[in-house]
């Protein structure tokens, strides 16, 4: 069964790997989505914006995947409380509380110190504490046997397992006896995860089924030393990240190369954080898909049962209708005989001699108090009432036949509704499967910038603001890259990452569209703008002697090459291989080739958000059925951020 949450060893590895990178990060914003807390961070160095995901009871790691927020959903009170205190705070340190799966983020904000606690234990919480460790906000409030989670209370972690790194051999032997075998002793007594205990024993060649009393002190000491060595090695940053795949299914994620799995495929990752992100996104998708599938299957089962009941009901109504009509038809054929019987019955009753009814031909049973008389007409036994005429009796059966036919028709109509609901449910199941994949999508590192992949595969990135312009020139621009800038004040830095290759004129012209359209030329409503390009080696952040370059500015030396750009920008949506949608923007010819659905924009007077909303509605309307649920997962912001400013749509595809 796949691992559902991070272990103590995982927590130690993650902190060791990411601590130095995250220290000094600033919290840009806080989100609370379906029990997941996401901290949007601005980190120093090349990383820039990062999303730190905390899911209590399960995991903490940086994520490259977007967790979509319902555009109409309100900000939770917990998210609002966190924003009030720690938005803009600086992350000073990452700490592990005791030897448990509890991480504390030490935060500094406006002279105050806060601690954001992330409990990865079962029924764990996320809580914001003040500098005295008193609870300000918590994702949940509850009173337990060993602690109270309540505002104003001092935070108390749950009972801690022993600190394995400080455990003596004597205590280790005592604690080991808590398990029926050596593995369970290491889990229950030493507080180690089962997969890690088995790994240690596999490395030492010790049978995991041995009982603790079958091991001497020397072997136990060897086991304890190996445990400490591996943990110290991981804590010092010597980490190898792997997914372990068994029979085609990923079972766990580990910060070391395992020896305990036989016939398993090891999938290496460049970092443990990356391995965690990919592993838990897989688990999240599987759990979401399983839950949705189970709910649909239960509803499908109920509808199918209703359909079967409805079919039986229709069959019964139709049988009754045929039966009543047959009786009416036979009585019609025996009209004279029926009339004789009824005349006799009516004469007797008129004389007040109910006890004489048995003398009438065909009467087989009667009940004076109920006013019911059973008669036999040829081979038919029917019930009649006093003073009825033959026509009334026959009409009663014809009426009953018609009545059951009507009931059968209504039941058929209900059946058609049920069958339609079942059909829609099957379609919904398909849509939900597509949505569950599209709802959580990976965001590439360059998507935080203006970006484009040219026809020949060159990555183009551009700054959205002064900070990004500065960062691109200082950290990402290399000598052989191409630097672009619209020849107008107020334009983004555009860089074509060449990786040693030479872009064609086509690539340059495509990148120039990004440089021109995202400049102030768009907001000024111009039709064309000049864009120049140079080699990266011609750009410098060093000003001439005695001069000063403000933030976001740069010096360009040597010859400039110019491209005249028409201000037309295509916005479209492409469906990636993993079934997720992505909004792309660039030259019309290029985007119309790549995008399933697109639009061409020019400078205009319409609000970008309104245009984004209209485009989403249009794309959903025009999408083929299997792609509608995928397009629906796009947010207005996904589209809005690719629109340069107030615009006008001049063409829609398809």
536 with 554, same domain?
yes
- The H or E element that residue 344 is part of is helix 335-350
186 with 260, same domain?
yes
118 with 130, same domain?
yes
207 with 240, same domain?
yes
608 with 648, same domain?
yes
Point out the domain boundary residue: 149, 177, 209.
149
The answer to whether the CB of 596 falls within 8 A of the CB of 574 is yes
Taking the whole predicted model, whether its pTM rises above 0.75 is answered as: no
The Cα–Cα gap between 62 and 39 comes to 9
**Structural domain includes residue 423:** no
| Residue 435: per-residue pLDDT | 60
- DSSP string covering 276-338: HHHHHHHHHHHHHHHHHHHHHHHHHHHHHHHHHHHHHHHHHHHHHHHHHHHHHHHHHHTHHHH
**Structural domain includes residue 605:** yes
**Structural domain includes residue 408:** no
The answer to whether the CB of 460 falls within 8 A of the CB of 453 is yes
The answer to whether the CB of 38 falls within 8 A of the CB of 31 is yes
| Residue 503: per-residue pLDDT | 97
How many structural domains does the chain have? 4
45 with 170, same domain?
no
**Structural domain includes residue 398:** no
527 with 613, same domain?
no
**Structural domain includes residue 43:** yes
The Cα–Cα gap between 110 and 131 comes to 13
Q: Please give the residue range of the domain that contains residue 599.
A: 569-653
Cβ within 8 Å of residue 488, ≥6 positions away? 519, 520, 521, 529, 530
62 with 140, same domain?
yes
Kind of pairing, strands 440-442 and 459-462? unpaired
The answer to whether the CB of 259 falls within 8 A of the CB of 203 is yes
Chain centroid to CA 30: how far?
Answer: 18
- The H or E element that residue 368 is part of is none
25 with 139, same domain?
yes
Convert the pLDDT of each residue in 554-601 to its tens digit.
899 999 999 999 999 999 999 888 778 899 999 999 999 999 899 999
| Residue 72: per-residue pLDDT | 47
44 with 122, same domain?
yes
**Structural domain includes residue 338:** no
573 with 560, same domain?
no
**Structural domain includes residue 491:** yes
Q: Which residue has the tokens 């002279």?
A: 111
108 with 12, same domain?
yes
**For the chain, which ranges sit under pLDDT 50?**
71-72
């Amino acid at each position: 069964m796949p691992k559902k949450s991070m272990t103590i060893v995982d927590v130690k590895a993650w902190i060791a790997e990411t601590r130095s990178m995250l220290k000094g990060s600033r919290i840009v914003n806080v989100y609370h989505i379906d029990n997941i807390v996401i901290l949007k961070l601005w980190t120093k160095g090349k990383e820039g914006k990062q999303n730190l995901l905390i899911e209590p009871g399960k995991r903490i790691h940086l994520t490259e995947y977007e967790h979509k927020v319902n555009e109409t959903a309100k900000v939770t009170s917990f998210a609002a409380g966190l924003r009030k205190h720690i938005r803009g705070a600086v992350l000073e340190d990452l700490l592990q509380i005791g030897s448990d799966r509890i991480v504390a983020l030490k935060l500094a904000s406006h002279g105050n110190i806060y601690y954001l606690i992330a409990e990865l234990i079962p029924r764990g919480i996320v809580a914001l504490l003040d500098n005295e460790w008193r609870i300000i906000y918590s994702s949940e409030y509850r009173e337990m046997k060993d602690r109270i989670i309540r505002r104003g209370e001092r935070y108390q972690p749950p009972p801690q397992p022993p600190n394995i790194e400080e455990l003596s051999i004597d205590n280790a032997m005592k604690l080991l006896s808590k398990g029926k075998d050596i593995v369970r002793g290491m889990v229950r007594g030493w507080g180690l995860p089962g997969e890690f205990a088995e790994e240690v024993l596999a490395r030492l060649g010790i049978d995991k089924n041995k009982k603790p009393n079958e091991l001497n002190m020397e072997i136990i000491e060897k086991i304890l030393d190996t445990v400490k060595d591996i943990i110290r090695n991981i804590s010092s940053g010597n980490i190898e990240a792997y997914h372990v795949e068994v029979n085609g299914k990923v079972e766990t994620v580990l910060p070391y190369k395992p020896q305990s799995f036989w016939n398993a495929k090891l999938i290496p990752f460049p970092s443990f954080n990356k391995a965690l992100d990919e592993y838990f996104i897989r688990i999240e998708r599987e759990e979401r898909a399983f839950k949705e599938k189970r709910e649909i299957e239960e509803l499908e089962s109920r509808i199918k049962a209703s359909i079967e009941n409805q079919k039986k009901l229709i069959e019964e109504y139709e049988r009754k209708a045929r039966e009543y009509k047959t009786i009416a038809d036979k009585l019609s054929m025996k009209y004279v005989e029926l009339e004789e019987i009824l005349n006799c019955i009516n004469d007797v009753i008129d004389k007040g001699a109910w006890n004489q009814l048995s003398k009438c031909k065909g009467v087989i049973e009667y009940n004076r108090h109920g006013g019911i008389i059973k008669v036999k007409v040829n081979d038919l036994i029917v019930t009649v009432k006093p003073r009825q005429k033959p026509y009334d009796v026959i009409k009663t059966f014809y009426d009953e036949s018609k009545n059951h036919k009507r009931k059968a028709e209504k039941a058929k109509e209900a059946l058609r509704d049920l069958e339609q609901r079942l059909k829609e449910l099957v379609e919904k199941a398909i849509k939900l499967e597509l949505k569950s994949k599209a709802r959580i999508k990976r965001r590439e590192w360059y998507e935080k910038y203006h970006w484009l992949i040219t026809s020949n595969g060159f990555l183009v990135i551009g700054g959205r603001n002064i900070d990004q312009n500065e960062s691109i020139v200082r950290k990402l621009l290399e000598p052989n890259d191409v630097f672009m800038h619209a020849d107008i004040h107020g334009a983004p830095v555009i860089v074509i990452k060449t990786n040693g290759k030479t872009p064609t004129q086509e690539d340059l012209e495509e990148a120039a569209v990004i440089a021109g359209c995202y400049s102030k030329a768009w907001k000024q409503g111009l039709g064309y703008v000049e864009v120049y390009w140079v080699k990266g080696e011609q750009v410098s952040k060093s000003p001439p002697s005695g001069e000063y370059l403000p933030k976001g500015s740069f010096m360009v030396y040597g010859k400039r090459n110019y491209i005249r750009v028409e201000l037309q920008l295509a916005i479209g949506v492409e469906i990636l291989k993993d079934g997720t949608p992505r909004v792309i923007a660039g030259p019309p010819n290029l985007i119309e080739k790549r995008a399933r659905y697109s639009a061409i924009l020019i400078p205009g007077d319409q609000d970008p958000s309104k245009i984004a909303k209209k485009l989403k509605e249009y794309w959903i309307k025009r999408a083929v059925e299997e792609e509608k649920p995928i397009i629906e997962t796009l947010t207005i912001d996904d589209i809005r951020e690719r629109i340069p400013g107030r615009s006008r749509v001049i063409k829609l595809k398809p």
